[in-house]
Structure 1
Amino acid sequence: MLWNVLFVLLVSIVVLILFSPVFKSTWPFSTLYRRVFQPFVSDDQKYRWKFHLVPLFYTSIYLYLVYTYHAKVEPLIKNDLFLLERILIGPIIILPPVALGILAMVTKAEDSNVHRPGSTEKYPYDYLIYYPDVQCSTCRITKPARSRHCSICNRCILVADHHCIWVNNCIGKGNYIQFYLFLISNIVSMSYAFLRLCSISLKSSTALPRAVLTLSILCGCFTIICAIFTYLQLAIVREGMTTNEQDKWYTIQEYMREGKLVRSLNDDPQSWFLKLTEKGDAAEPLQDQQGTFYSTNAYDHKRYILMHYITIKDASEITNVYDKGTFLANFTDLIQ
């Protein structure tokens, strides 16, 4: 009874903390927001242990599924399993997600300081979303093309995709293959468990206990979640982008839709610019400063005068120099 009371109390406090940003002007939410939520979220150094919560959450769910199978489900369906299944379920179905998850967690992506020879020069600057001579304000070194500084890892990650909260690690050059194998192993394990349990349930002449249904539903739901996330990740690869670059390309296309993106006709590597616009009217260029532009480089605050240029009106006029043309070529490039 005492444990139940303590559990309900703990859950109630967590719920109050999570809702504190919404009601931060009302007590007791205001106190929880100021003293707990805001420091916890904003201070990445003092509360670094928080980044391990999601991997622990994933591990807890996975271990619960494994426990449910071995303790409650396997004794009920043992006679319906093939001999080969009984032998291979452990090493082929259950262990790979755990092993590959650990591998994705401990394998660090290459960064500006620690990398293989030639990694920092592999990709050219496209003078649209990446520019040379841009210094990372934290690392104090020049940022290679396709790199991004991660405030959690405190490194400039090469070919940075994102910081994955599920493995608490940056995904980038050097650990893409481990990350994708981790995703695929989860899909294989969960989908196999879901389909096999459904098959056994349909063939059974008697109603199976609730544990079988519960495990089937959980595995089915996790299969869908993992499959959707994996598809979205691979769709980005197909376009020759990373998750980090997808956001940058979205911004570029927003400029294009607003009629602000132009390309200089001069024979110069730096050929992409933005029209200088009135504050509050993003679509109209200044009437008294025709030909005045800013670089698409967010670190370059100079004004440029262009005499010969064209306004970009369609995404087909923009070339992604990092797109190799096919999904396979892009994927191979990432994992090399």
Structure 2
Amino acid sequence: MSDEIRKNFASDNIAPACPEVLDALLRANRGPAPAYGSDELTGELERRFAILFERGLISFPVATGTAANSLALSALVPPYGAVLCDQSAHIANDEGGAPEFFTHGAKLIPIPSPDGRMKPDALRAAIELNRLGGLQSPPARALSLTQSTEWGTLYTLDDLRELTTIAHDGGMTVHMDGARFANAVAALGCTAAQASWEVGIDVLTFGGTKNGAIAAEAVLFFTPSLAEDFLRRVKRSGHLWSKQRFMSAQLLALLENDLWLDHARQANAMAERLAHGLHRYTAATLPYETQANEVFVVLPKAVTQALEDAGYRFYRWPTPPGVTGDLIRLVTDFTTTTHDIDALLAAL
């Protein structure tokens, strides 16, 4: 980690790759290896995921979160179907229509929520409305949940179990966007199994890029039948790496000695430190709980401008009605230090 004060809090994607990942890539670069996922590292990765999640599964490494989410949904939903998701979901707002493209036209149906956490009654209402639409409505075939959510909040395990039960009772499968799955597991203090298939998740997008990898995600199928012909989908979409050992090596490095959780704990701790400091600043308002590694805060416009003038970087979010100031998002990662956080708070 650098001694230089970090001033970019725009995203956890700005973080460098961790040394363990770089070392793993160098080791994977020794000599020839079978292509297109037939290498030893890719086979070992699936075995390691099975150990981590305490059950048999099928894993598919891909390079980006957008590809992982979109390909996963394409396996769950036909072109004439629909995906229910929270209104804040990344698949609905930040993936450029990729889920619709990969599913060949399936509709995304956003469900409103106050803080990124879908409510059971809202899900039931959406399912009933979809059913009443008959032929005029694309049938809801999948529910997509994001953990941690786009607002930095967390579903409890009971929350997830209730939502997945409603979805399954409605004839749907359940996908989880786990770009920050590590942050959620670290914050909840549970196991990977408890946070996924044990609460009813059928397919998980396991994120690595935000957590120390260069470009590495994985689509994990806990129900093998759902993965039928999935590799053909990966190939047809242009996301089957010929030298897949290098993608698998990155994820294996993160799984080694629970490095993926250590990184997430560091990011979460720095976000918590930042949130506590902001609570002491009377001009700051935090509209959502800080439960993972994203902090949302409303600051006076003059303050956000002054921070930018001082070199700080962050994303502005639409300010809620009736709120004066700028709603900004500050994101921490595994390289963020107490020095970085304290310098930002001092700048305020």
Please confirm whether the aligned pair reaches a TM-score higher than 0.5, indicating the same fold.
Answer: no
Which has the larger helix fraction? 1
Task: Indicate the structure (1 or 2) with the bigger Cα radius of gyration.
Answer: 1
TM bin, normalised by shorter chain, reads under 0.3
Higher normalized strand content (fraction of residues): 2
TM-score normalised over the length of structure 2 = 0.20
- TM-score using structure 1 length: 0.21
